[in-house]
Amino acid sequence: MYGHIVRILILTGQRRNKVAGMQWAEIDFDQRIWELPRERTKNKQPHIVPLSSAVKNT
């Protein structure tokens, strides 16, 4: 399990607590994005992270 988290950390460049708290509702595999809601970001602004095919295969 931790191997997947480490891989996503490397592939997305996101913070450890953001990746560990990923929720399925935040991920859109069709558009290949991960949308962090403002409640989970440091600056209280929504954040969109593009997802590569390598992340999808993790």
Which SS3 state, helix, strand or coil, does residue 5 take?
Answer: helix
pTM: 0.85
Whether 1 has a pLDDT exceeding 90, the answer reads no
Report pLDDT digits (tens) over 2-40.
898 999 999 999 999 999 999 999 999 999 999 999 999
Q: Read off the amino acid at residue 39.
A: E
The domain limits of the chain are: 2-56
Strands (E), 1-58: 27-28, 33-36, 47-50
- What pLDDT was estimated at residue 57? 83
Residues 6+ apart with CB under 8 A from 41: 47
Q: What are phi and psi of 52, to 5 degrees?
A: -80, 170
